Structure 1
Amino acid sequence: MTLRINVVTLFPDFFRGPLGLSIPARAAAAGLVSYNLVQLRDFTHDRHQTVDDLPYGGGAGMVMKPDPFWEAVESLGPAGADRPPGPIILMSARGRRFGHGDAVRLSLQEEITFLCGHYKDVDHRVAEHLATEELSLGDFIVSGGEIPALAMLDATVRLLPGAISDHESASTDSHYDGTLSAPSYTRPAEYRGHRVPEILLSGDHARIAAWRREQAEGLTRERRPELLEHPDHE
């Protein structure tokens, strides 16, 4: 199965470079995923290709209009037996925080559509009646939905079977099992007076595995204790 990822955006070029590099590019070349970049301005009907307008009720900033988003999603084709409906995800500061569990869930889909807003906001009817969910990267604001969409896309694609050649490496990443990962070291064994922990040079794999578990739990307890208190935290 090939995962189809649609990205509705004002800035398709934002994605072309990153999607042509590293794991996203290799996954596409292997037929694991296909990317469909949809220019939102193609679904406007005035000579200025207007996608935003003043907010009802007054206030600062501009609000993105609902109709280009609706028409862009409709252009992807109707859902049916040959094309099951997939999640339509609006990038939103109001959304639930994206986590590893979301990446796992999305990697099991046949199709995902990311909606990227810009300017002050997106007409709330898009969130209420077009998108199936709203997701956020965290409690901060970035220039547009392209940045979180790319991060979520990458986190999802790297979990597709075959996207990463070394699955064991991925399985020891932070958040894979709900904790932070243990520290990593490589050659040289000493650099500017700083030595690698001796246990990692011992060759005792059982002790090394135990050390890594202890380090992972200790770092998680110190830096992200809520991950231990709430194992299902995303």
Structure 2
Amino acid sequence: MRFDVITLFPELFAPFLETGVTRRAYTSGLVQVHLWNPRDFAEGNYRRIDDRSFGGGPGMVMMAEPLALCLHKIRAERADAEPAPVVLFSPLGPALNHSAVAHWSDSAGAVLLCGRYEGVDQRFVDAHVTHQISLGDFVLSGGEIAAMALLDAVARLQPGVLNDEGSHQLDSFNPALDGLLDCPHYTRPEVWAERTVPDVLMSGHHLKIERWRRDQRLAITAKHRPDLITAARTAGRLDKLDEKVLREL
């Protein structure tokens, strides 16, 4: 898959693409990332890519023409049979979740537009943007962090990227866990700061361990994200024993 990132600050992505376990996805070519600076497609000595907003008000707006020229170059290089989706990171979009990440991880990729300043000329958005994505109800200085979040989440789902192939199956929100939050994890030493590892995890009894982990996932999800319990119940993912545990909680 291929992601083309339109950003005024491509240098921000260099350490991200070269660090951590997900770098395997990028260096192997499983996830190809190409960086494009719209300033390279702007005219004039100053390569201006922003201007004041019509109607007044503070801040500047990214101009449509440099972005359109940049996108045209990307499309020519990709040469896709179907035009790649164009994703704008914006407060208008739905919050990124596991379902959306799974969708993009199984796609051919997309063009990721990292907005800056007060935003992007709406005419470019209307003409070219196919998807809008938010990280939540807050505002960032630009879309770069959001683009990295999507790329990281997509990369770790690719085969061979994580040390353990089944590791991401135990992530919070994963359908393999019925959309619940993950359970607590412990490692050596067995006693730390007078706190001990739960006895059941030391028992070697795999069925009891799995039941304990399931109960912990139910308890943590019910406490912190009861909406996920409701969703799991509606989808028929909770059995009678799960419901008994929830009643006892």
Shift of 1:174: 1.0
Q: Is the 8 A contact 1:89 1:133 kept in 2?
A: yes
User: Which letter maps to 1:183?
Assistant: P
Shift of 1:78: 4.3
Aligned to 2:201: 200
Shift of 1:191: 0.5
Which of 111, 114, 120 is equivalent to 2:112?
Answer: 114
Shift of 1:81: 7.8
Aligned ranges for residues 29-178 of structure 1 at < 5 Å?
29-78=27-76, 82-177=80-175, 178=179
CA distance in 1, matches of 2:70, 2:163: 35
Aligned-pair Cα RMSD in Å:
1.9
Shift of 1:63: 1.0
Which one has the bigger helix percentage? 2
Q: Is the 8 A contact 2:22 2:162 kept in 1?
A: no
User: Which letter maps to 1:184?
Assistant: H
Aligned to 2:186: 185
Q: Segments of 4+ in structure 1 off by > 6 A?
A: none
Q: Is the 8 A contact 2:171 2:181 kept in 1?
A: yes
Higher mean C-alpha displacement, 24-33 vs 126-135? 24-33
Shift of 1:108: 1.2
Which of 1, 7, 10 is equivalent to 2:5?
Answer: 7
Higher mean C-alpha displacement, 159-168 vs 134-143? 159-168
Unaligned runs of 5+ in 2: 236-249
CA distance in 2, matches of 1:144, 1:121: 9
Aligned to 1:20: 18
Shift of 1:189: 0.8
Q: Is the 8 A contact 1:90 1:131 kept in 2?
A: yes
CA distance in 2, matches of 1:28, 1:79: 19
Q: Is the 8 A contact 1:89 1:132 kept in 2?
A: yes
**% identical aligned pairs:** 39
Output one character per residue of 1:61-115: Cα deviation in whole Å (capped at 9) or x when no partner.
1111111221111101349985432221001111111111111100111131110
C-alpha distance 167-124 of structure 1, shift in aligned 2 (>3 A): same
C-alpha distance 168-185 of structure 1, shift in aligned 2 (>3 A): same
Unaligned runs of 5+ in 1: none
Output one character per residue of 1:192-233: Cα deviation in whole Å (capped at 9) or x when no partner.
111111111111110100111111111111101112223599
TM-score, normalization by structure 2 = 0.87
Shift of 1:27: 1.2
User: Which letter maps to 2:190?
Assistant: A
**What secondary structure, in the 3-state scheme, does the structure 2 residue paired with 1:23 have?**
coil
CA distance in 2, matches of 1:95, 1:85: 21
C-alpha distance 175-39 of structure 1, shift in aligned 2 (>3 A): same
Name the larger-Rg structure. 2
TM-score, normalization by structure 1 = 0.93
C-alpha distance 80-33 of structure 1, shift in aligned 2 (>3 A): closer
